[in-house]
Structure 1
Amino acid sequence: MGVMKRLLRRLGHASLIWFAAVTTAHASDPVQPKGSLVIIGGGLRGDNADIWQRIVQLAGGKGARIAVFPSAAGAPEKSGQAIIGYLKRYGADPFLVPIAVKLANSDYRKAADDMTLADRVRRADGVYFAGGDQGRITQALVRADGTRTAALDAIWDIYKRGGVIAGTSAGAAIMSSTMFYDARRVLATLQEGVADGKDIAPGLGFIGDDIFVDQHLLIRGRFARMIPAMLKKGYQLGLGIDENSAMVVNSKREVEIIGYRGALLLDLSRATMDAEASAFNVSNVLISYLDRGDRFNIATQTFIPAQDKADGRLDNTRPVRRGPVYSNDILGNSAVVDLMEKLIDSDQQDAIGIASGDPRGTAPEIGFEFRFSKTPESTGYLSQVVEAYSILNLRLDIRPIEVQRPLYKYKN
């Protein structure tokens, strides 16, 4: 109750009414769904057979009816038809659902409550959400009073009876009960925090109320923005998936990583913050990298490595790498995983990553130090086929630092 009271004080009256209504509409269904989720990190290529085939398989195989929702797209007709083409290539029988804020000559509010269209969706074997702006999905599928539209009820019916719900980028963001909405850059999120109704807003909650989901994760350094959002909303576990990759979540809450790369698992169950500090900080976050083929059970918190890593558990007494491990740009493309891989197979006990802004700035700014440390719980697995790691339970501490600007050239 104390958390809710603090939330009420932070929100204005109008924002509070919106937040309460939409949270009610997007809360997870009390009936445990029998279906599966395919949560794609964005940038899904047409030739990524691992993901496309899995969607079709989970929908029932060849000829499966899949309802394609282009609701998030800026050009819904074009986006929807492209997705339909790929699903047909991999054996499905997809159809376009004309419910989208940006769809020309259409009233998305009427379409979302058209019972004939909703019944057609309900008879499908699966659903696919296109990428774009996740706010358009919730705008199209949740009524102004915060209740579910007929179309959203139909989607939940598919999921509850055993169908598949797939989504890429924006379609992945809506999988959790809280999603990033109108978020700032990652560094700005660390510097300025997150605000309900602006940076974050309610999602559709298919994965449940206890897991936070983010996408485009490694290539955009978004793991760092997950942490303040999770702390604000009380999440202990977060899963972030990279581009052209997917997390498949079944009815037993078993997660399998498929596609091109992997996902980061954040565990904040032991995390602490210094409430007296003026800038964002956090200690004792557990961070893990789940590679393609790896499995993680949300319910039991157990990990099973991919088959090619089953015999590849690292021997901590025989590290391959020597010397300091660091990154000057921990928010850069895949920098966090590169650093984690080096540390887990190193003679070092910790590694440092720095996040800062424009080096051409003229005034000092607040940056952040990311310290990754090995603990007795830290474990690594190396593939026997390629140089690919799975990494479990590194400790992450983040603290603010003052970055001097401008940067001065060395003088002889």
Structure 2
Amino acid sequence: MEKVSFRSWRSPVHAGRHALATIQVGILAGIVLLGQGPALAQEPDILKPPTEAPAAEKPLPAAKGSLVIIGGGLRGDNADVWQKIVNLAGGKGARIAVFPAASGTPERAAEIIIGYLKKYGADAFAVPVAVRLAGSDYRKAADDAALAEKIRKSGGVYFAGGDQSRITKALVREDGTRTAALEAVWDLYRRGGVVAGTSAGAAIMSSTMFHNPRAILPMLRNGITDGQEIAPGLGFIGDDVFVDQHLLVRGRFARMIPAMLTKNYKLGLGIDEDSALVINAQREVEVIGYSGGLLIDTSQAVWDKSRPDFNVSNVRISYLDRGDRFNIITQSFTPAPDKAGGRIEAGRTALRGPVYSNDILGNYAVVQLMERLIDSDQEEAIGVASGNPRSTTPEVGFEFRFSKTPESVGYISGIAEAYSVLNIRLDIRPIDIPRPLYKYR
């Protein structure tokens, strides 16, 4: 299999701290964009050393287990994902503890998930630790020794979707220490079990998670506050990678970037709905399921915090399609088998003409733009993000400028029109958008 090495950031295992955010962009035909300041300057493609060393901490045993991080919206017939969870938990008959803590209706959520896991061969059971579970004291249940031991002896756990703050509220004590149930999950993971989660259950995988976020445009305009839009997660993936979900359907790449910069994350992984990132003990990532996800690298990014609206230059963004693999430690990429030999040669111009998006935050808009750019005669593409086009007052929007670099690489499948796109440069800057955007003739 062909492998490609990323020339940028090299990360130590579970070191550093970072976060995620996604961005909006699009080209608005027939309007005048009054740019707020000059275009962002190009930065040299060099590795920047950290400004300060992380504080020394007592090392914990390395986790021997795996993670299955699902972007939400997992369908019951997605055998790739469900079967992977069961196999990693030990195969047919594997015990899997289901945590419905995030759900507003935990009994029903647990029942549905257990049904699917049993369909694919697991012996699943519900963990009655949930803020919304009627007739139950979640604090007492989370520290029940017998329940913790039952979790610990399982081959895997599954965190349901909903509100991720309910998971941390149920499993982390008010003083910040882990409950017995959460310690049991960590013991299972360190021993070699699988920790899976969908939607909210994916958000808690990183040490920082979105907590009570506003819509993407207000976050870009007004910034992100630690303790409000973002809060501590459970950190199974380590302190050096930020995770987000529902990514391509909801344009959330644009909120990942400001969050990552706010918390000094250098690497972010966002996964789409009905898809999953499978990460093993060697920190090798495999994309499975319906579509794919985005890899966001801010190690060379330049962010001017003095400006009132969000801006950044030299973020690197990559699209990893289903079947692709990426190694977090070595930063190397291996395309899916159907893309082997499908590297897009420099100078190929399958597509011609401007590449742009009028709504870069729209459903799959960012991936479609990246795919068109990598396989075209253009060196850059523009996307715009803005609000209500019928507003009567001017507003701040954002331009997303995607550029090819010498490290940009594309792959195309030999059996379908499916792409993988690596190392596209992304610059984001605020723009003034006149309102109303149009008048009827």
TM range (shorter): over 0.9
Choose 192-201 or 224-233, whichever is displaced more. 192-201
Match of 2:244 among 195, 211, 214: 214
Structure 1 residue ranges (4+ consecutive) displaced by more than 4 angstroms after TM superposition: none
Q: Give deviations 1:255-299, integer Å, cap 9, x for gaps.
A: 000000001000000000223322110000000000000000000
Match of 2:406 among 376, 379, 400: 376
Work out whether 1:330 is the aligned partner of 2:350: no
Question: Offset at 1:315?
Answer: 1.3
Residues 28 and 204 in structure 1, CA contact (< 8 A), matched pair in contact too: no
Secondary structure at the residue paired with 1:166? strand
> CA 1:239–1:74 in 2, change beyond 3 Å: closer, same or farther?
same
Question: Offset at 1:408?
Answer: 3.0
Work out whether 1:96 is the aligned partner of 2:159: no
Q: Which residue of 2 aligns with 1:7?
A: none
CA distance in 1, matches of 2:61, 2:211: 27
CA distance in 2, matches of 1:270, 1:80: 43
Uncovered stretches (5+) of structure 1, i.e. residues with no partner: 5-26
The normalised TM-score by structure 1 is 0.92
Question: Offset at 1:410?
Answer: 5.6
> CA 1:29–1:199 in 2, change beyond 3 Å: closer, same or farther?
farther
Work out whether 1:241 is the aligned partner of 2:275: no
Q: Which residue of 1 aligns with 2:256?
A: 226
Match of 1:161 among 191, 205, 217: 191
CA distance in 1, matches of 2:250, 2:287: 19
Work out whether 1:53 is the aligned partner of 2:83: yes
Question: Offset at 1:29?
Answer: 7.3
1:158 partner amino acid = L
Match of 1:146 among 176, 184, 187: 176
CA distance in 2, matches of 1:166, 1:276: 40
1:248 partner amino acid = V
Give the aligned length.
387
Aligned pairs (5 A) from 1:349-388: 349-388=379-418
Q: Which residue of 2 aligns with 1:277?
A: 307
Secondary structure at the residue paired with 1:316? coil
2:401 partner amino acid = R
Question: Offset at 1:361?
Answer: 1.1
Name the structure with the higher helix share: 1
Q: Which residue of 2 aligns with 1:253?
A: 283
Work out whether 1:62 is the aligned partner of 2:114: no
Q: Which residue of 1 aligns with 2:20?
A: none
CA distance in 2, matches of 1:54, 1:63: 14
Q: Which residue of 2 aligns with 1:83?
A: 113
Work out whether 1:182 is the aligned partner of 2:189: no
Uncovered stretches (5+) of structure 2, i.e. residues with no partner: 1-15, 18-56
Q: Which residue of 2 aligns with 1:191?
A: 221
Secondary structure at the residue paired with 1:330? coil
% of aligned pairs identical? 71
Q: Which residue of 1 aligns with 2:73?
A: 43
Residues 134 and 181 in structure 1, CA contact (< 8 A), matched pair in contact too: yes
CA RMSD of aligned residues (A): 1.4
Work out whether 1:116 is the aligned partner of 2:140: no
Residues 217 and 243 in structure 1, CA contact (< 8 A), matched pair in contact too: yes
Q: Give deviations 1:205-241, integer Å, cap 9, x for gaps.
A: 0000000000000000000000000000000000000
Residues 28 and 205 in structure 1, CA contact (< 8 A), matched pair in contact too: no
Question: Offset at 1:254?
Answer: 0.2
Secondary structure at the residue paired with 1:111? helix
Question: Offset at 1:28?
Answer: 11
